[in-house]
Amino acid sequence: MTRDRSGDVIVVGSGVIGLTTAVVLAESGRRVRIWTREPAEGTTSAVAGALWWPYSVEPLELARAWALESLSVYEELAARPQETGVRMVEGVLGGSRLDEQGPWAAARLPGLRASTPEEYAGTGLWARLPLIDMPVQLRWLRERFLRAGGTVEVRAVADLAEAEAAAPVVVNCTGLGARELVPDPAVRPVRGQLVIVENPGVRNWLVSTDAGAGTTTYLFPQPDRLVLGGTTDEDEWSLTPDPAVAARIVEQCARFWPAVARVRVLEHRVGLRPVRSAVRLEREVRSGGGVLVHNYGHGGAGVTVAWGCARVAAGLAFG
């Protein structure tokens, strides 16, 4: 007797977008396999600073809706921070103004206000947002997926046709890999370098954007470390940390928290954000009758929009 394969899905990619999409599909009763070139810990998502905020992602209105849907999930997950890696933490978005935000912000983010001079020397917003410890979150997502009956196969995919031959529905969550795999030259890397240090007592996060200098400085306190950033190097592919850049990141962060200059460096990290002019979230019906759903191009906002995009992708897969 031939098994019914109509509910079979292969999700290609195991970053936060791929794992979240796989969880939504598996929990809806589908038989889901993840095909991934590397475990989640080796993906760009594992390097992310991971503050929830709809930053530099298009199309703006859709991205905002995806972000707000994701926010609701993260607020629930923040009740179990040690398990999920999600905490609600206060901090300042330097360089942002309250009147620049749409009505969505005030309606959905209670306590959002202009920062005081004591909190930030300049124009900024004080907010309480989800801050996600990505190694913990990725591990939790994978365990949730496995509990839902999913399986993970570590295998390189040279052509999406390989997955299409193995399942009637394929969801492409390959991020920057979509540049070659689709192929889609509109996807390009924006390199981000981070410095991980011992935390000298920083409790609130800070993002400071200097539009004139084209720089963004941030400090993200995690339970066992402090994440310092960062860079936005367009079309740069190198995954090798640059010592001069690392020194500059520490110097910039020390301007806001001087003790940072004296703490021990634990690690250097580099990630390549999969940037695209607009997120590609759409369905293709292939010539053989199979369905291919694309869910990639989220740039540095993958964590922010992950759950909203995952639910749309699941709907497209079986809509």
For residue 144, what is the domain's CATH number? 3.40.50.720
Q: Is 302 annotated as a binding residue?
A: yes
Q: Is 300 annotated as a binding residue?
A: yes
Q: Is 120 annotated as a binding residue?
A: no
How high is the pLDDT of residue 215? Answer: 75
How high is the pLDDT of residue 79? Answer: 98
Does the residue 241 lie in any domain?
Answer: yes
How high is the pLDDT of residue 1? Answer: 43
Determine the Cα–Cα distance for residues 309 and 188; give it in Å rounded to an integer.
20
How high is the pLDDT of residue 262? Answer: 97
Determine the Cα–Cα distance for residues 27 and 21; give it in Å rounded to an integer.
10
How high is the pLDDT of residue 5? Answer: 67
pTM score, whole prediction: 0.96
Size of the chain, expressed as the number of residues it contains = 319
Q: Is 157 annotated as a binding residue?
A: yes
Q: Is 44 annotated as a binding residue?
A: yes
Kindly give the parts of the chain with pLDDT less than 50.
Answer: 1-2
Provide the residue range defining the domain that includes 219. Answer: 8-318
Does the residue 93 lie in any domain?
Answer: yes
Does the residue 61 lie in any domain?
Answer: yes
Does the residue 3 lie in any domain?
Answer: no
Q: Is 156 annotated as a binding residue?
A: no
How high is the pLDDT of residue 315? Answer: 97
Q: Is 303 annotated as a binding residue?
A: yes
- What is the CA 163 to chain-centroid distance, rounded? 24
Does the residue 211 lie in any domain?
Answer: yes
Kindly report, residue by residue over 105-139, the tens digit of the pLDDT: 888 998 999 999 999 999 999 999 999 999 999 99
Q: Is 273 annotated as a binding residue?
A: yes
How high is the pLDDT of residue 213? Answer: 66
Does the residue 60 lie in any domain?
Answer: yes
Does the residue 2 lie in any domain?
Answer: no
- Number of domains, the chain: 1
Does the residue 209 lie in any domain?
Answer: yes
Kindly report, residue by residue over 11-63, the tens digit of the pLDDT: 999 999 999 999 999 999 999 999 999 988 888 898 888 999 998 899 999 99
Q: Is 56 annotated as a binding residue?
A: no
Q: Is 218 annotated as a binding residue?
A: yes
Q: For a pLDDT cut of 70, what percent of the chain falls above it?
A: 97
Q: Give the count of alpha carbons within 13 A of 20, CB side only.
A: 28
